[in-house]
Homo-oligomer: A and B are copies of this chain.
Amino acid sequence: MKEYVIALDLGGTNSVLGLVDKEGKILNRSSFKTGDCPTIESYVAQCTESARALISQAGGKETIKAFGIGAPDVNYWDQTIENATNLPWKGIVPLAALLEKELDIPVYMTNDAKAAALGEMLYGAAQGMKDFIMITLGTGVGSGIVVNGELVYGKRSFAGELGHTSVRPETGRECPCGRRGCVEAYCSATGVVRTAHELLEQSKEESLLRKLPKETLTSKDIYDAAIQGDKLANQIFELTGSLLGEACANFATFSDPEAFIFFGGLTKAGDLLMKPLTQTYEQTVFDNYKGTARFLISQLDDADAALLGAAALAWTR
């Protein structure tokens, strides 16, 4: 009986493996530092060792359906990691095939934001949905788009870079990607801090944020100030939510989604973010879409979500 899957959340800092059942219960987990493996050979060796321990805890290979991986810069069609900027291994890395060879179980790999969308569909806020857009608000802004129950990959598997659509093409700030006015330049954790720096400079408004050292200001500091009623901190979330709402109004024209699902640190701001977001969306969206989409925050536990996404890939392939 295939009762379990192995899941791997491959991040720039940590690699977390888990043994996960069909209901999304994580029965065991282990982790190691990704950076401790300077070569892909050493990474495969470390990963195989951790996976074997989990497989043995599960009662052997016969109980394992598959091994799912969520990682950055995955080419889904080729099952490779391509020129990852935040991982130690350069070029094109056929990680799935390398692990499959060692472990002799099917290994599937997808991009982390796309895995997150699968996780929501199987275990989270998107259960029962076939058309939704998942947006992850972290250091950057990622996305996973589901159309008619399937992830959108596109010709070369690079679909779903909604963080790099422009919402302020004329006067917007530069995104590290080189474009002007990208969603990521405003609605990521770093974007929110940039907004704070700008507003602190431009306005004379008293603010708790002025008491903090500018260089180390975080989105968490801004949230803490906002819930204490700090007006400027509230303005920052209003601007962020409003721009994200405008962006979602453009996204709706593409796939007429049933819901937008948000995940990541910034969603902790709750209504501070979601209220201006939905308000601006409904004000600016094309008539056909008004009042039809739901705006949800992921209910999955932060620490588990990436692992559950990788598990969902293993269960649904």
Tell whether, in the assembled complex, residue A150 and residue B152 are in contact, meaning their CB atoms are under 8 Å apart.
no
* Interface 9-mer from A89-97, A233-241, A285-293: A285-293
Q: Encode contact with B along A176-201: 1 for CB under 8 Å, 0 otherwise.
A: 01110000000000000000000000
Query: Is A316 on the interface with B (CB-CB < 8 A)?
Result: no
Q: Which of A12-37 contact B (CB under 8 A)?
A: none
Tell whether A253 pairs with B171 under 8 Å between CB atoms, given A131-B154, A287-B178. no
Tell whether, in the assembled complex, residue A256 and residue B147 are in contact, meaning their CB atoms are under 8 Å apart.
no
Partner of A156, one of B162, B251, B256: B256
Partner of A164, one of B156, B160, B166, B286: B286
Tell whether, in the assembled complex, residue A179 and residue B286 are in contact, meaning their CB atoms are under 8 Å apart.
yes
Residues of B near A171 (CB, < 8 A) are 170
Tell whether, in the assembled complex, residue A168 and residue B165 are in contact, meaning their CB atoms are under 8 Å apart.
no
Shortest distance between the CB of A92 and any CB in chain B (Å) = 15
Query: Is A153 on the interface with B (CB-CB < 8 A)?
Result: yes
Interface of A is mostly: loop
Tell whether, in the assembled complex, residue A155 and residue B287 are in contact, meaning their CB atoms are under 8 Å apart.
no
Residue of B nearest to A82 (CB): B288
| Residue among A152, A155, A179 with most chain B CB within 10 A | A155
Q: Which of A250-306 contact B (CB under 8 A)?
A: 250-251, 253-258, 284, 286-289, 292
Tell whether, in the assembled complex, residue A255 and residue B286 are in contact, meaning their CB atoms are under 8 Å apart.
no
Query: Is A145 on the interface with B (CB-CB < 8 A)?
Result: yes
Residues of B near A220 (CB, < 8 A) are none
Partner of A155, one of B131, B158, B177: B131
Tell whether A150 pairs with B153 under 8 Å between CB atoms, given A286-B177, A289-B158. no
Measured CA separation A292–B148 after assembly (Å): 26
28 intermolecular pairs with C-beta atoms under 8 Å apart = A145-B255, A147-B147, A147-B159, A148-B152, A152-B254, A154-B256, A155-B257, A155-B258, A156-B256, A156-B292, A157-B256, A158-B289, A159-B254, A159-B255, A159-B256, A160-B253, A161-B253, A162-B253, A164-B253, A164-B286, A165-B254, A166-B284, A167-B169, A177-B286, A177-B287, A178-B287, A179-B284, A251-B254
